[in-house]
Amino acid sequence: MELTYRPRRLRSGENIRRMCWETRVSADSLIYPIFVDETLTGRCPIDSLPGQYRYGLDCVTAAVRECQEAGVSRCMLFGIPAHKDALGSSAWDKNGVVQQAIKAIKAMYPAFYVITDVCMCEYTDHGHCGALCDHAVDNDATLELLCKVALSHAEAGADMVAPSDMMDGRVAAIRKALDTAGFTNTPIMAYSAKYASAFYGPFRSAAGSAPSFGDRKGYQMDPHNRKEALKECALDVQEGADIIMVKPALSYLDVIRECADAFDVPMAAYSVSGEYAMIKAAAQAGLVDEHRIMCESALSVFRAGANILITYYAKELAKAMQKGEL
């Protein structure tokens, strides 16, 4: 048979396949989530996230050391405070759990890049992402609190802040607060299109952040909506976001692609706890090859247009990249 073009020629061996990869990845794109628990000494396994841990302030630097040994040089810090109240006041305490963790990490590993999650849900006694007015989150009152949190993180030495609350106008408010205080070079990674997803369950168990009543559908995005994500990203870019994010990742690859194509800022994606837990469960049941599924899932996110991936598999992915497996 006479064929002018045979696509299989470029698949005929490992050498030529690797040369023709359209999507190339790097460990520099990976961010590892770290849970810091103010009530804990040492580290404690997270039942809902096999292989993951809560770290006490006495050993959070051990988590960073493990990252560096694996080739990961960036983390996202989440705090679990000893005290919770209606306003989440521990979130902006200068001696709060995240603030202490930043200082400890920077004292031992000054070059390690620390990004902080800016939200209230882990710190409020009701589990919602801001101040309440009756049983609804008060958007504008919450902005003032978020600014205090972001500023306290920057003052403690955070390299970047990442508001995840989905309040309207929070990027502009935080940008103004940081600039006014002299932190003009502190970037903002905005959780721009954060969906009200069922994939967050294991995280809420890990961080103790499940709402005590109702849900978060009044401020997180409806999974039915695609165009709304473009609007949310556009608003965050206009307000000064340096990086935008889509969360979760795997069920929203179409949204990642559209937003990556539409905006000339780096695109992050968060491969959330439920995605990780499903792969772990399927692997433990002997149904899938965990390593291959991990690599293929991550690759799909980058192929969709993400430049940055926040993932509980960051250390394993970095090792896979070093071996040329991804």
- Active-site residue identified among 247, 315, 319, 323: 247
The CA angle 188-143-100, to the nearest 5 degrees, is: 60
176 is catalytic: no
106 is catalytic: no
- Active-site residue identified among 84, 106, 194, 280: 194
Interacting residues of 218 by C-beta distance below 8 A, sequence separation 6+: 136, 137
Burial 178-199 (b: 16+ CB within 10 A, else e): beeeebeebbbbbbbbbbebeb
What is the token pair recorded at 271?
A: 């491969």
Are the C-beta atoms of 93 and 82 separated by less than 8 Å?
no
Interacting residues of 281 by C-beta distance below 8 A, sequence separation 6+: none
Q: Please count the helices (runs of H) and the strands (runs of E) in the chain.
A: 11, 12
Catalytically annotated residues: 194, 247
